């Protein structure tokens, strides 16, 4: 091995500088800075190209990570961006919102050896941003138009990923979404301090340059009948996400001052997009906020409440800290910004006076072995306490809520409402209706953005396979 194989001994792990806490909590700008080109190259040089790249295996889209790190190291930026897009249609977004500590970086060989993982996510983000800024665009010059047309319902990460891959295969992609902007939860659910909305708008520009057509403010089933899509398009991809919040069934959940996480986050993002001051509902100045839930959505609520002026934010989670499903990075940011964590507490009821929330009753828990191997919280009798609260945000998770027209057209769902795909006699991501494919959270339940990207990519591959079979193409449009 050459001395270059041991550069990780000379170059420590480094992440881009973050905006100081005292400044970043005053606004909603992204808190991470960018690498300078020499820093990105140096961090890429730390990769030892270990031969069995665990980072690739841990990545849900199986990015060619060592390969594009080498290209960044060599200054071949456009080639790196092209290689990133071979596996991931949204690399600049995944570079920002993926929990790399639990995926690629957590599996990095250097991380296992306590040298500090290669900063994969930060390099991915910087390289894509910089390549696009310098004029890189997907090269479709050799793509031949097949004449096929596919409708995509939902402009979230699964739908955008599917559209990208269809265009690369010469298939027209029309994307329909009821919102006035693309992105789904990328735009309306993830706060701007994690994902600047200009990044999503730039991705829209790239996709439109590839020939993707967006029909925004259009709801299928209200503005356009689903049967019209089946008649007018060769196939349909459904990527409608998971927007139905999990109801914790807590007594007092109808009290004023109690919010569900997703409406809270969406409402705040929409008023930011309109450049409006917080309404009375979102003015948390001087208020004591309790967030229930330990996932990434809970962390988003924590940090949003801080920016809305809360006097205190307490995050309550029923298990211990190592069991938290949220990104360690986001938990760390929450702590830096002043959030207090209260572990092994199970919320029991929401208490109020005169119709308004005043406290959350919690009980201490102990962790016992669960049947699935994950510790299960067990309430400790007699350990109840009341946490004062002016505002409570429930972040217990989300479930898919596929459109009503799924039933009308024989698109099967399971007991939890998720669309069922694949199985005997079906292509990957194909539903029980042969013309319809689905992916993302409406199939998986609430999950990571990168897994929705994977589903969109794989669904497009299945659609390409289906439409390439000449005997299917014409009859499918007539199978309504």
pTM of the entire predicted model: 0.93
Fold identical between 149-242+400-477 and 245-398? yes
* Letter string b/e over residues 377-397, b meaning 16 or more CB atoms within 10 A of that residue's CB: bebeeeeeeebebbbbbbbbb
Res 170: pLDDT: 97
Is residue 278 classed exposed, middle or buried when 0-12, 13-18 and 19+ CB atoms within 10 A define those classes? middle
Strands 398-399 and 244-245: antiparallel
Residue 16 CB coordination number (10 Å): 18
Res 112: pLDDT: 86
Which of the residues in the chain have pLDDT under 70? 1-5, 470-480
Give which of 201, 35, 225 is closest to 127, Cα–Cα: 35
Question: What would the two tokens of residue 188 be?
Answer: 């309306």
Residue 155 CB coordination number (10 Å): 28
Residues 233, 69: contact at Cβ < 8 Å? no
Residues 73, 40: contact at Cβ < 8 Å? no
3-state secondary structure of 274: coil
Domain 149-242+400-477 architecture = 3-Layer(bba) Sandwich (3.50)
CA distance 2 to 353: 71
Name the residue ranges covered by the structural domains of the chain.
3-133, 149-242+400-477, 245-398
Res 414: pLDDT: 93
pLDDT digits (tens, 9 = 90+) for 413-430: 998 889 999 999 999 999
Question: What would the two tokens of residue 401 be?
Answer: 């809520």
Residue 189 sits at the vertex; the CA angle it makes with 188 and 194, to the nearest 5 degrees, is: 100
pLDDT digits (tens, 9 = 90+) for 147-194: 999 999 999 999 999 999 999 999 999 999 999 999 999 999 999 999
Domain 3-133 architecture = Orthogonal Bundle (1.10)
3-state secondary structure of 304: helix
Res 478: pLDDT: 47
Superfamily name and number for 245-398: FAD/NAD(P)-binding domain (3.50.50.60)
Res 3: pLDDT: 54
């Amino acid at each position: 091995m050459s001395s270059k194989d041991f550069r990780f001994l000379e170059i420590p792990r480094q992440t881009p500088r973050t905006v100081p806490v005292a400044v970043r909590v005053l606004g909603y700008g992204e808190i991470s800075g960018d690498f300078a080109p020499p820093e990105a190259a140096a961090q890429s040089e730390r990769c030892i190209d270990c031969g069995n790249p665990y980072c690739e295996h841990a990545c849900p889209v199986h990015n060619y990570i060592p390969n594009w790190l080498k290209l960044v190291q060599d200054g071949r930026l456009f080639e790196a961006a092209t290689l990133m897009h071979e596996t991931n249609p949204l690399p600049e977004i995944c570079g920002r919102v993926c929990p790399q500590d639990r995926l690629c970086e957590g599996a990095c060989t250097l991380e296992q050896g306590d040298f500090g993982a290669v900063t994969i996510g930060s390099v991915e983000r910087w390289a894509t941003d910089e390549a696009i800024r310098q004029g890189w665009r997907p090269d479709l010059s050799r793509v031949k138009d097949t004449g096929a047309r596919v409708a995509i319902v939902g402009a979230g990460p699964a739908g955008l990923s599917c559209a990208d891959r269809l265009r690369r295969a010469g298939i027209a992609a029309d994307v329909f979404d009821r919102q006035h902007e693309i992105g789904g939860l990328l735009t309306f659910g993830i706060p701007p301090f994690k994902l600047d909305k200009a990044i999503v708008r730039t991705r829209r520009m790239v996709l439109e340059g590839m020939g993707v057509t967006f029909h925004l403010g259009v709801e299928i089933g209200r503005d356009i009948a689903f049967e019209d899509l089946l008649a007018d398009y060769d196939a349909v991809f459904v990527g409608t996400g998971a927007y139905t919040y999990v109801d914790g069934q807590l007594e007092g959940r109808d009290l004023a001052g109690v919010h569900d996480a997703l409406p809270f986050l969406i409402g705040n993002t929409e008023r930011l997009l309109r450049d409006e001051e917080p309404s009375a509902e979102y003015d948390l100045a001087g208020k004591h906020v309790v967030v229930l839930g330990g996932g990434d959505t809970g962390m988003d609520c924590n940090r949003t409440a801080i920016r809305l002026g809360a006097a205190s934010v307490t995050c309550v989670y029923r298990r211990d800290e190592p069991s938290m499903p949220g990104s360690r990075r986001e938990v760390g940011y929450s702590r830096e910004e002043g959030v207090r964590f209260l572990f092994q507490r199970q919320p029991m009821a929401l208490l109020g006076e005169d119709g308004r929330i005043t406290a959350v009753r919690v009980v201490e828990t102990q962790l016992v072995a669960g049947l699935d191997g994950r510790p299960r919280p067990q309430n400790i009798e007699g350990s109840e306490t009341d946490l004062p609260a002016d505002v409570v945000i429930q972040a217990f998770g989300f479930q898919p809520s596929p459109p009503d027209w799924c039933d009308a057209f024989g698109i099967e769902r399971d007991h939890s409402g998720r669309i069922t795909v694949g199985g005997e006699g079906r292509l990957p991501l194909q539903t029980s209706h042969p013309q319809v494919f689905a992916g993302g959270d409406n199939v998986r339940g609430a999950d990571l953005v990168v897994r929705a990207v994977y589903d969109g990519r794989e669904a497009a591959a299945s659609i390409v396979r289906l439409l390439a079979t000449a005997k299917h193409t014409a009859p499918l449009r007539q199978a309504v």
